[in-house]
């Protein structure tokens, strides 16, 4: 320690900004006099649509409700509030969306504070230069990055580490609104700047970013207090119905990791080989032994999405055991017949069937034999434009409805449709096209804008 501070308290209100939390839990946390309120506001979990389209995946009213509690408490206690991956995916449209909500709350509740806004968008020409210099490499089995993929992406963000948030706080920001950020950094940047162990701070942040999910019973919609000390950290449940156990906390330390012992991130990785979990009174848990291994060549993860077409879906179910017994061959024939009918009109696209009750969740990875009395068939069509996606879905749905499969007894429709209209135009479809590491110092990408509210 180089500041004389021996304890630092971080209040995590909710797993994702907008998910909500009980007012009673939040008040218990405030009564403990936290030094920081931090919240993660995004994730890649909901898929590429939100990054590609620039739209949030959380409801505006829910986000505003959560932010009002957070901002007023931070203002009253005169402590910082840090928001990571604003708006869901952390691109400029998401950050601006969240920024406007903050400005509304400040005006409505007469709050005055300095806000640091950190955009995470990356210039495409910078990425292309890095490709030519051999400073990019793929993650998750993707191919090497090329200029064409960069140009097709609608939004590209870089996942910031500790530096940009520490810089925004150093500039006097009481509220930090960050674009795409490594999840633990919103919780860890301030205490690390004060001299606390980066390993413990990042490990605590890794758990706090999901709020009470690591407790038992777990919840992403409840508050947790993290107390960081020199040799360990404690997690404190703020609801009387929850407690932290060795199993629940250790399990969450394995969350979103390809290796149980190491967790890479911007600037280095956490080494969990020597971690100890000790259960404490009142449902608390004490965690120690985490180590941090610095990265020799700094890298930043890039995330980008590109539009691949438009989607239409239709949902139907059947209880006919004769149809269920041959559902795979029926769907394959329906697919062939439908595309044959559309060929003359030049309509092209893809057809996917998701059969719930058989393998709708696991698809080809499913190993269990089906024992369902009923199945739900989700028809999904994908085409270059919405008109063609709608046309394909319509033909597939009607062909399946009246297809005469072997052994069929009834001559009426084969499927039961829960909705009318049965076909739903689902709009634009995106894919993650960029999921690559970029060798670069994060100070060369992320810049802080200071705003006085």
Cα 118 to Cα 39, 92, 103, 346, distances in angstroms: 15, 9, 16, 47
Helix 60-77 vs helix 92-108: angle between axes, to the nearest 10 degrees?
A: 60
Tens place of pLDDT per residue across the chain (453 aa): 456 789 999 999 999 999 999 999 999 999 999 999 999 999 999 999 999 999 999 999 999 999 999 999 999 999 999 999 999 999 999 999 999 999 999 999 999 999 999 999 999 999 999 999 999 999 988 899 999 999 999 999 999 999 999 999 999 999 999 999 999 999 999 999 999 999 999 999 999 999 999 999 999 999 999 999 999 999 999 999 999 999 999 988 887 778 889 988 898 999 999 999 999 999 999 999 999 999 888 899 999 999 999 999 999 999 999 999 999 999 999 999 999 999 888 999 999 999 999 989 988 888 887 778 999 999 999 999 999 999 999 999 999 999 999 999 988 899 999 999 999 999 999 999 999 999 998 888 998 999 999
Please name every residue paired with 181 in a beta bridge, in sequence order, or none if there are none: 160
Q: Are 243 and 214 in contact (CB under 8 A)?
A: no
DSSP reduced 3-state for 261? coil
Which residue matches tokens 């709708």?
360
pLDDT score recorded for residue 2: 54
Sheet holding 291-294, edge to edge: 262-265, 268-271, 291-294
- What single string gives the DSSP state of each residue in 360-398? TTTGGG--SPP--S-EEEEEEEEESSHHHHHHHHHHHHH
Q: Which DSSP category does 144 fall into? A: P
DSSP reduced 3-state for 56? coil
The Cα 258–Cα 235 span in angstroms is 24
The Cα 339–Cα 395 span in angstroms is 8
Torsions phi, psi of 149, nearest 5? Answer: -65, -40
Any idea where the domains of the chain sit in the sequence? 7-303+434-452, 320-415
Cα R_g (the chain), whole angstroms: 25
In sign, the C-alpha dihedral spanning 234, 239, 244, 248 is: negative
Please name every residue paired with 310 in a beta bridge, in sequence order, or none if there are none: 383, 428
The Cα 289–Cα 387 span in angstroms is 58
Please name every residue paired with 307 in a beta bridge, in sequence order, or none if there are none: 430
Which residue matches tokens 């009750």?
357
The Cα 341–Cα 343 span in angstroms is 6
Q: Which residues contact 310 (CB under 8 A, 6 or more apart)?
A: 382, 383, 384, 385, 386, 388, 389, 425, 426, 427, 428, 429
The Cα 335–Cα 134 span in angstroms is 44
Q: How do 285-288 and 276-279 pair as beta strands?
A: antiparallel
Q: How many residues does the chain have?
A: 453
pLDDT score recorded for residue 3: 64
Q: Are 348 and 388 in contact (CB under 8 A)?
A: yes
Which residue matches tokens 């269920």?
324
Which two three-digit tokens encode residue 54? 């620039």
Q: Are 224 and 287 in contact (CB under 8 A)?
A: no
């Amino acid at each position: 320690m180089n500041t004389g501070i021996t304890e630092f308290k971080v209040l995590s209100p909710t797993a994702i900004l907008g998910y909500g939390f009980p007012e009673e839990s939040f008040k218990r946390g405030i009564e403990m006099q936290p030094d920081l309120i931090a919240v993660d506001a995004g994730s890649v979990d909901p898929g590429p649509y939100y990054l590609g389209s620039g739209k949030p995946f959380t409801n505006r009213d829910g986000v505003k409700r959560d932010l009002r509690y957070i901002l007023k408490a931070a203002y009253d206690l005169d402590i910082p509030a840090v928001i990571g991956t604003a708006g869901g995916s952390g691109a400029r449209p998401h950050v601006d969306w969240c920024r406007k909500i903050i400005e509304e709350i400040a005006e409505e509740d007469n709050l005055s504070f300095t806000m640091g806004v950190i955009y995470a968008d990356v210039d495409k020409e910078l990425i292309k230069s890095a490709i030519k210099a051999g400073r990019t490499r793929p993650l998750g089995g993707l191919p090497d990055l090329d200029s064409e993929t960069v140009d097709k992406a609608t939004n590209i963000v870089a996942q910031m580490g500790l530096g940009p948030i520490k810089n925004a706080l150093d500039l006097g920001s009481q509220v930090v609104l960050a674009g795409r950020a490594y999840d633990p950094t919103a919780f860890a940047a301030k205490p690390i700047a004060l001299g606390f162990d980066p390993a413990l701070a990042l490990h605590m942040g890794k758990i706090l970013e999901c709020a009470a999910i690591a407790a038992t019973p777990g919840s992403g919609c409840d508050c947790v207090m993290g107390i960081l000390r020199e040799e360990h950290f404690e997690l404190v449940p703020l609801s009387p119905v929850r407690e932290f156990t060795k199993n629940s906390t250790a399990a969450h330390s394995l969350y979103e990791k390809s290796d149980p012992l190491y967790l890479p991130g911007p600037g280095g990785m956490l080494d969990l080989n020597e971690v100890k979990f000790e259960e404490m009174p009142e449902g608390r848990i004490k965690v120690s032994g985490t180590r941090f291994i610095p990265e020799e060549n700094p890298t930043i993860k890039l995330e980008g999405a590109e539009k691949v077409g438009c989607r239409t879906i239709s949902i139907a179910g059947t209880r006919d055991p004769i149809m269920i017994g041959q559902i795979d061959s029926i769907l394959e024939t329906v697919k062939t017949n439908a595309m044959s009918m559309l060929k003359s009109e030049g309509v092209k696209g893809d057809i996917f069937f998701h059969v719930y009750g058989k393998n709708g969740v696991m698809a080809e990875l499913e190993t269990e034999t089906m024992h369902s009395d009923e199945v739900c068939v989700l028809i999904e069509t994908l085409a270059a434009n919405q008109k063609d996606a709608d046309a394909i879905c319509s033909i597939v749905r009607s062909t399946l409805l009246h297809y005469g499969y072997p052994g069929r007894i009834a001559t009426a429709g084969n499927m039961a449709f829960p909705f009318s209209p049965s076909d739903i135009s689902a709009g634009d479809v995106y894919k993650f096209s960029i999921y690559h590491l970029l060798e670069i110092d994060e100070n060369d990408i992320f810049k802080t804008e200071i705003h006085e509210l």
